[in-house]
């Protein structure tokens, strides 16, 4: 599986970072997450340009030397984004030219010992390439790239240059080659455990493995500090991916676990199944809901683990269980387990559910049976009429795995209402026992609505 790098956009206010972000994500609202509070003025998006896929982070415009409280907060958050990211795009303004804040940001990057910087001049329309380039050479990051974020000029060349640069190939691509050549890895269930700090992810991993020996941050598996841990359960092979940042219990007693949005997204992207871990004592925060939504949008199979259940009084458990199910109603297809990682309660049931979710995600559905189930569904509840046309669902087949995709053919299918799509999803899920995986339904209509 190809590694999806994180590219952070850095620059002073109003140089066009948000415009470039929107260009990369193809939409102004194509946001993976907007974590207010934790990540002030940092927005995470799923970037794509040509054949290249990446995570893009839009940071707030900042002034490193400013004593203004808002700019100081932005500088702190930008600092964290830079340290987490694989590539830094340092954006400057070609119309305004070089200014003191650009020098301050350049010095800020040098103090962090950042070497993965690409200097990019935005708003360069109508200006001499030689004039602009010579001016910004003073920042000390080599030959700059000229783009227009608003018009799209030069962006393809920039992205291709990043992915084909010696910096990127030497530091990141070699790890992808090792992964792609390791056939055994892809015979295993790739499992990630995600959640906020202090929900008990390290303890859960230790409970699954049966010992504490393997969570060793000091022995990074790759240059990206990701660690893969192999284990077996009930005759099946697994690999726990990207456990970087999880330390031995003795090492976390006096420190706060760091939460990285980037690492969480990358772990989810590389997984077959995700265990979303939540704290029974604190409930579900907006951040938890966003992580859950991203897992759903990415199409990954999911199992929900509500940890620290042993600390909840018997009188409170029913109400808390109802509240978790209410807030995570959009993941109603996922099995939810109330566990104690510390006491190893319900850990085996959790892992059996991981098996079920994986099997459901990669299920193979024969076309005759899929069509038969479709016709049974329409017989029990025909699609409602819209206007003068009545949708006719004729046959269906499987169109993909992980998540399963069911393609339905017929007439006037654009008239099908969302409520009926949900009905079909529930019907297919029940008939094929698709527990723990998202299910996607696609419609293909005949051009002649009267046939």
Task: Give the count of alpha carbons within 13 A of 348, CB side only.
Answer: 2
Report yes or no: 96 and 135 within 8 Å, Cβ to Cβ: no
All structural domains of the chain: 6-176 (3.40.50.300), 183-361 (3.40.50.300), 367-445 (3.30.300.20)
Report yes or no: 137 and 129 within 8 Å, Cβ to Cβ: no
pLDDT of residue 335 exceeding 70, the answer is yes
pLDDT of residue 256 exceeding 70, the answer is no
pLDDT of residue 312 exceeding 50, the answer is yes
Q: Any known ligand binding at 232?
A: no
Q: Any known ligand binding at 250?
A: no
Report yes or no: 395 and 371 within 8 Å, Cβ to Cβ: yes
Choose between 432 and 131: higher pLDDT: 432
- For 418-447, b/e burial (b = at least 16 CB within 10 A) is eebeebbbebbbebbebbbbbbebebebee
In what order do the strands lie in the sheet containing 440-445?
392-400, 405-411, 440-445
Q: Any known ligand binding at 77?
A: no
Q: What is the pLDDT of residue 27?
A: 64
* Segment 18-37, tens digit of pLDDT: 889 988 988 654 334 444 33
How much is the average pLDDT of 44-56?
85
Q: Any known ligand binding at 399?
A: no
Give which of 290, 197, 206, 189 is closest to 241, Cα–Cα: 189
Q: Any known ligand binding at 14?
A: yes
The secondary structure of 308-373 as a DSSP string is -GGGS-HHHHHHHHHHHHHHTGGGTTS-EEE-BTTTTBTHHHHHHHHHHHHHHHT----HHHHHHH
As given in the structure block, the two tokens for residue 276 are 């979303």
Q: Any known ligand binding at 200?
A: yes
* Angle subtended by helix axes 69-84 and 261-269, to nearest 10: 30
The secondary structure of 395-417 as a DSSP string is EEEEEETTTTEEEEEEESGGG--
Q: Any known ligand binding at 342?
A: no
In what order do the strands lie in the sheet containing 189-194?
229-233, 236-240, 189-194, 273-279, 301-307, 336-338
Q: Any known ligand binding at 411?
A: no
Neighbours of 242 (CB within 10 A): 26
Give which of 376, 386, 384 is closest to 426, Cα–Cα: 376
Q: What is the pLDDT of residue 336?
A: 96
pTM: 0.71
Residue 92 pLDDT class (50, 70, 90 cuts)? very high
Q: Any known ligand binding at 18?
A: yes
Phi, psi of 147 (to 5 degrees): -140, 170
pLDDT of residue 168 exceeding 60, the answer is yes
Give which of 58, 55, 53 is closest to 43, Cα–Cα: 58
Q: Any known ligand binding at 160?
A: no
Beta bridge partners of 317: none
**Is the bond preceding 403 in cis, omega lying within 30 degrees of 0?**
yes
Q: Any known ligand binding at 88?
A: no
Q: Any known ligand binding at 22?
A: no
SS3 content of the chain, % helix, strand, coil (to 5): 40, 20, 40
């Amino acid at each position: 599986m190809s590694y999806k790098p994180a590219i952070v956009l850095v620059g002073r206010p109003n140089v066009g970072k948000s415009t470039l972000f929107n260009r990369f994500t193809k939409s102004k609202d194509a946001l993976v997450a907007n974590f207010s509070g934790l990540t002030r003025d940092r927005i995470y998006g799923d970037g794509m340009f040509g054949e290249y896929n990446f995570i893009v982070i839009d940071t707030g415009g900042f002034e490193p030397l400013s004593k203004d409280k808002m700019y100081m907060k932005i500088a702190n958050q930008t600092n964290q984004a830079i340290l987490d990211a694989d590539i830094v795009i340092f954006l400057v303004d070609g119309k305004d030219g070089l200014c003191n804040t650009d020098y301050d940001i350049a010095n800020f990057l040098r103090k962090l010992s950042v070497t993965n910087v690409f200097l990019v001049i935005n708003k360069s329309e109508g200006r001499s390439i030689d004039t602009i380039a010579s001016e910004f050479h003073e920042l000390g990051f080599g030959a700059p790239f000229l783009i227009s974020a608003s018009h799209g000029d030069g962006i393809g060349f920039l992205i291709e240059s990043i992915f084909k640069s010696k910096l990127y190939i030497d530091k990141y691509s070699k790890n992808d080659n090792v992964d792609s050549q390791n056939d055994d890895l892809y015979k295993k269930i790739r499992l990630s455990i995600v959640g906020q700090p202090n929900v008990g992810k390290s303890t859960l991993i230790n409970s699954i493995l049966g010992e504490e020996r393997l969570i060793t941050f000091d022995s990074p598996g790759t240059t990206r500090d990701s660690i893969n841990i192999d284990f077996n359960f009930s005759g099946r092979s697994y690999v726990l991916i990207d456990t970087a940042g999880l330390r031995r219990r003795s090492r976390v007693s006096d420190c706060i676990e760091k939460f990285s949005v980037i690492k969480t997204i990358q772990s989810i992207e590389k997984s077959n199944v995700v265990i979303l871990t939540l704290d029974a004592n604190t409930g579900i925060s907006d951040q938890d809901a966003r992580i859950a939504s991203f897992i759903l949008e990415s199409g990954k199979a999911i199992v929900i683990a509500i940890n620290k259940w042993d600390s909840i009084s018997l009188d409170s458990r029913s109400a808390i269980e109802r509240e978790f199910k209410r807030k995570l109603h959009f993941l109603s297809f996922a099995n939810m387990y109330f566990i104690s990682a510390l006491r190893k309660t319900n850990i085996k049931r959790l892992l059996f559910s991981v098996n079920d979710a994986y099997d459901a995600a990669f299920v193979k559905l024969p076309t005759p049976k899929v069509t038969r189930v479709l016709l049974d569904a329409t017989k029990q509840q025909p699609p409602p009429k819209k206007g003068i046309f009545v949708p006719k669902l004729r046959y269906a087949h499987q169109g993909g795995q992980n998540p399963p995709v069911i393609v339905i053919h017929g007439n006037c299918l654009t008239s099908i209402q969302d409520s009926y799509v949900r009905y079909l999803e529930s019907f297919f899920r029940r008939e094929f026992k698709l527990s723990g995986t998202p299910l996607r339904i696609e419609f293909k209509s005949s051009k002649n609505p009267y046939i």
